Amino acid sequence: MTRRFYVTTPIYYVNGAPHIGHAYTSIAADVMARFHRLAGDDVFFLTGTDEHGQKVEQAAQAAGVAPKEFADNVSANFRSMADAMAISYDDFIRTTEPRHIASAQALWRKVADNGAIYLDAYEGWYALRDECFYGEDELVAGPDGKKVAPTGAPVEWVKEPSYFFRLSDYQDRLLELYEQHPEFLGPHGARNEIISFVKQGLRNLSISRTSFKWGIPVPGDEQHVMYVWFDALANYLSALGYPDADAPRMAYWPASLHLVGKDIARFHAIYWPAFLMAAGIDLPKKVFANGWWTIEGQKMSKSLGNVVDPRELVAEFGLDAVRFFVLREVPFGGDSDLSRKALITRNNVELANDLGNLAQRTLSLVARNCGGILPERRMLTEDDAKLLGQVVVLPQLLAAQFERCALTDALEDVWKVIRACNAYIDHQAPWALRKTDVERMADVLRVLLDALRGIATMLQPFMPDSMARMLDQLGVTQDERTFAALEVALPGGRQLPAPQGIFPRYVEPEQS
Ligand code: MSP
C-alpha cells in the first residue's frame, strides 16, 4: 500500500522580506518531500504565509499601506523565494484566503462546542515580536535592566477582554503524549525543554484580542479577532479542506511531520496538540525543530545590515551548492553559522572535488576509451562487490536517517560511499588498465557508473538540478530515477552523452 507523507513548513510572517533562515526550513522540508516521492510515497507538501496579527498590521502601517495590500506583496515575495529555491510545494496557503478563514473559524467552533473556550479578561505580558504571551516568572532582565521575554523580545503589559483556551486541562495528556510517543518531538534538546516547561504547569491561554482588527473574527463575537497563533496553526488543516471530512486532501491528515524553527517549537508541541485534542482531531505524528543561523558569527538583524537573501547566495554560488551547504554544515537540529569561507570550502572540496571530479574522471574515461557506450555489467571481483554493496544499502540506510530527520547524517552516509569510490578508482587505476587489460577497464568503469547512478539517485532530493544533469550523463532515463528502480541494473550498450562538468570550483574574484 502506498504510504502517505504530509510535510509542512511554518507559514512565514509577512512583516518583512524572506531571508536564509526562512529558506532553511523550506529547503529541509523540500528534501523530505522529494525523498518520500522518490521512495514511492504519496506526498503532500505545504508551505505558505502567516498574514494576520498585530505585527503584520504595524509593519503595514509603517509602510503606509493597507494590511491586505502589504500582505499581498510580501507573500508574493515569499512565494518567489520558494520557487527560486526549487521548493516543490503542492500548495501555498495564505491565511487571508477565504478557505483558510472559514476553516479556522470552524476549528474554533469545534473547540468551543467541546467546552474548551471561555470568555474572561487578559492581564499580563505580551511580546509583539514573538506574538507570544509570557508569564511573569518567564521574564528575564534585558540589557537596560528592563524586563524582556526569554527570547530577548520587548514585552508590554496588556489588559483586555479575551477568550481563553483551557490549556491547563491538557497538561497531563500532553505529558502522556511526549512519554508514550518519544518520536513525536525532536531533537532531544527541544523535547527536554518542552517537557520541563509543561511540567512546570500550564496556564490557560488567551486566544483572542480586541485591541486591533487585523485578524480572523471570532465566530459569534466580532469584537474579537483570533490570536494569530490559533489562526496560523489552523493552516495545516485548512489547506486540506477541513472541516469537510470528504475533502480528498483530508486523507493526508494527520500530518507526518511539522518542520519548525526551534523558537516556535512551543506553539507546535504544546498549543497545537492541545487545540487538536480539544477538537477531537488526530494529532500530527511528529514535530521537529531546526536550529538557527548566524551570519559570520553574528546574529542576523536588520540593524546590523547582515540579513542574507538566499537568492543572492544562489546568484553567486548556484542553487544546489546553497541547498547542500545548509544541510551539510551542521547536524540538522543544531545551530549553525553561515560563513562565506565555509560555503566555498564545502563547494570546492565535497562537490567539485569529491563528487564532481569522480563523475568527470569516470565519464571521460568512458567517452575516451569505450566510445561513450555504457559497458555491460559482468562478473564482479571482491573489490567491485564490496563497493557496490555499499551503494545497494543506501536507500534503506537513508530511509532510516530521514525517519529521524537526520539529514546531515544522510549526506554523510552518501559521502562515505563517494570517498570509497575515489579510493576504488585510484586503486583500480582504469586509465592504466587501458594498456594492459581492456576488459577489466570496462568492468571497473561499469562498477563506477553503477555506483554513481546510486549516489546521484539518492542525492536528488538535496540537489535536484545537478543530480538530474548527472543522471542524464549516466544515461539513466526519467523512469529509472526512483529508489526502487535502482534494483534493476541498466542494460549495457547505451550511448552516453558527452560528459560535462557539474560542479565548478568556486574561485574568489580578484580584489581590485
Ligand atoms: N508565522 C510564524 C509561524 C507560524 S507556523 C503555524 C513564524 N514566522 S516567522 O516568519 O517569524 O518564522 C518562520 C520560521 O523562520 C521559524 O521556523 C523560524 O525559526 C525561522 N527563522 C527565522 N530566523 C531564523 C534564523 N536566523 N535561522 C533559522 N531559522 C530562522 O514564526
Q: How far is the CA of 46 from the centre of ligand 1 (A)?
A: 15
| pLDDT attached to residue 352 | 98
Percent share of the chain, pLDDT over 70: 100
Cα distances (angstroms) measured from residue 345 to each of 189, 340, 351, 499: 29, 9, 9, 24
Q: pLDDT grade, residue 1 (50/70/90)? A: confident
Asked if 462 and 342 touch (Cβ cutoff 8 Å), the reply is no
**pLDDT tens digit sequence for 486-508:** 999 999 999 999 999 999 999 88
CA of 128 to the centre of ligand 1 (A): 14
Decide if 496 contacts 507 (C-beta within 8 A): no
What one-letter code names the amino acid at 486? L
| Binding-site residues, ligand 1, Cβ < 6 A | 10-13, 21-22, 24-25, 50, 232-233, 235, 260-261, 263-264, 292-293, 300
pLDDT band for position 416 (50/70/90)? very high
Report the atom number in ligand 1 closest to the C-alpha of 294: 26
**Position 76 pLDDT exceeds 90:** yes
Q: What is the mean pLDDT of the chain?
A: 96
pLDDT in tens, 144-163: 889 999 999 999 999 999 99
Q: Which of 19, 216, 292 to mutate to test the pocket of ligand 1 (most atoms within 8 A of CB)?
A: 292
453: confidence class by pLDDT, cuts 50, 70, 90: very high
Instruction: For residue 236, give the ligand 1 atom closest to its CA.
Output: 6
Q: Per-residue pLDDT for 511 more than 70? A: no
Report which ligand 1 atom has the smallest distance to the Cα of 293.
27
**pLDDT of residue 394 exceeding 70:** yes
Atom index in ligand 1 nearest the CA of residue 262 equals: 19
Specify the pLDDT at position 144.
86
What average pLDDT score do residues 12-40 get? Answer: 97
Beta bridge partners of 118: 164
Percent of the residues in the chain that have a pLDDT greater than 90, as a whole number: 95
Query: Ligand 1, atom 16: nearest CA belongs to which residue?
Result: 261
Q: pLDDT at position 336, please?
A: 93
Residue from 7, 14, 15, 22 whose mutation best tests the ligand 1 pocket (most atoms within 8 A of CB): 22
- Model confidence band, residue 120 (pLDDT cutoffs 50, 70, 90): very high
Q: What is the pLDDT of residues 330-371, one digit of tens each?
A: 899 999 999 999 999 999 999 999 999 999 999 999 999 999
Give the model's pLDDT for residue 509.
79
pTM over 0.95: yes
CB 120, CB 165: distance < 8 Å: no
Ligand 1 centroid from CA 238, angstroms: 20
Backbone angles phi, psi at 292, to 5 degrees: -110, 155
pLDDT of residue 124: 92
Ordered by where they begin, the domains of the chain are 4-291 (3.40.50.620), 340-487 (1.10.730.10)
Contact 133, 152 (CB under 8 A): no
| Interval 283-296 mean pLDDT | 96
- What per-residue confidence (pLDDT) applies to 145? 86
Span 61-70, mean pLDDT? Answer: 97
3-state secondary structure of 294: strand
C-alpha cell belonging to residue 447:
562498477
pLDDT in the model for residue 301: 85
Determine the average pLDDT of the residues in 270-280. Answer: 98
Q: Which of 88, 50, 20, 21 is nearest to 268 (CA)?
A: 50
pLDDT of residue 305: 87
The alpha carbon of 121 and the centre of ligand 1 are apart by a number of angstroms equal to 29
A 10 A CB-CB count for 320 gives 22
